[in-house]
Structure formats: C-alpha cells, structure tokens
Amino acid sequence: MKRLRLILGASLLAVPWAFSQSPVPAAEEILKFSLEETRDQIVRVLGQPAQIADASPDYFTWYYQIGVSDNHEHSHLLLFSKKDGKLISVTRNFEQAAKLDGAFPEKETQTYFWPSAAERTWSVRVREMPGDRLAIAMGVSKPSDLSTQLLMIRRSAVKTFLPWLAGQLASKQVR
C-alpha cells in the first residue's frame, strides 16, 4: 500500500488532477477533471482499465476497479467519443453511500427532478463547473442526502445522455 501511494504521488506531479481512495474525498477527485485529459494521462494515473466496452457505434467506456471489494463492481467509468477520442464523462460509483456536500456548495448547486419539476420521481443535484462541465450527484435532492454515484459530464453531452435534464437546464426549471 505504501508503494502504491508513492507511485501515485509521483504520478500526480505529471498531471494536474488526482484520485483519492477514500469514499467522501473521492467526490472531490471528480471535480478536478477538465474532461480534456488524454487517454495517456489517465493511464499514467489510473493504469490500464480493468475492462473496455466498445459495443456502441459512437462511444467506448473504460471501467476501473479501484478499491472495490466486489470484482463485478466498477469504481470509475470513463466515457470517450469514438469520433474524436475526447473524454465525455467520468462516473464515480461508491460502494457505500456518501455525503457529497463538499463537492456541491449550496450557492453553486441546483436540484432538478425526473421526469420534470412537476413530477418529482427522482432527483439530482447539479453544479455548473467552469468550461463545458457539470457535476451531478445522482439521487440527491438536498444537502446531506447520501449518494452512490457522482458524474462529471460535458454540458454539451447532457442532451444526448440525460435529455430530461438538458431541457430543465435550458429552461432553468429548478426546485
């Protein structure tokens, strides 16, 4: 474990973002993604993915198993565009539900509901980030709620993957 930390620490000097192994601070790791990282930068920090899914005609996904106890679970999913190779999103799955409040300051965060603001079946908390990025806490409607999934996604990709949210973001239907 000490050697892994030394290697990871040295890798951090080469790239501007890092990954944490603990569940709550791990939320902060996602915020460090610019979504401009190259595959080589990601491999230098995370290593090779445990699995690659290439079934989609437009996208491929790298799956990582960092600190997971179940070999069938994935801690990180990185979605790339086949067209230009760009990183579209990073998903962080937590084995244990975690508070993500540190990643979602109240003044910078809005709550949105699926399927609509009027029909509140499921909720997400969204933080608009610099550049073309959104941080999204899945299944969370208010501070101190627990979540098992955090997503950093290009805002421009939300209409493709979360069209209900894209519509609400465009019209600012909140709370």
Q: Considering only residues 49 and 11, tell me which one the structure prediction assigns the higher pLDDT.
A: 49
Q: What is the pLDDT of residue 25?
A: 52
The confidence score (pLDDT) of residue 149 equals 94
Residue type, 28: E
| Residue bearing the bigger pLDDT, 150 or 14 | 150
**Residues 41 and 15 sit within 8 Å (Cβ to Cβ):** yes
**pLDDT in the model for residue 13:** 31
Give the other-Cβ count within 10 Å of 72's Cβ: 6
pLDDT of residue 36: 96
pLDDT band at 16 (very low <50, low <70, confident <90, very high): very low
Structure-model confidence comparison of residues 102 and 157, the more confident one: 157
Confidence of residue 5 (pLDDT cuts 50, 70, 90): very low
Instruction: Please tell me the predicted confidence (pLDDT) of residue 27.
Output: 73
Residue 45: domain span: 2-171
The model carries a pTM of 0.81
The count of domains in the chain is 1
Q: What is the DSSP string of 79-103?
A: EEETTT--EEEEEEEEEEEEE-GGG
Q: Which residues pair with 115 in a beta bridge?
A: 120
What are 64-121's pLDDT values in tens digits?
988 877 766 899 999 999 999 999 999 999 888 999 998 999 999 999 999 988 899 9
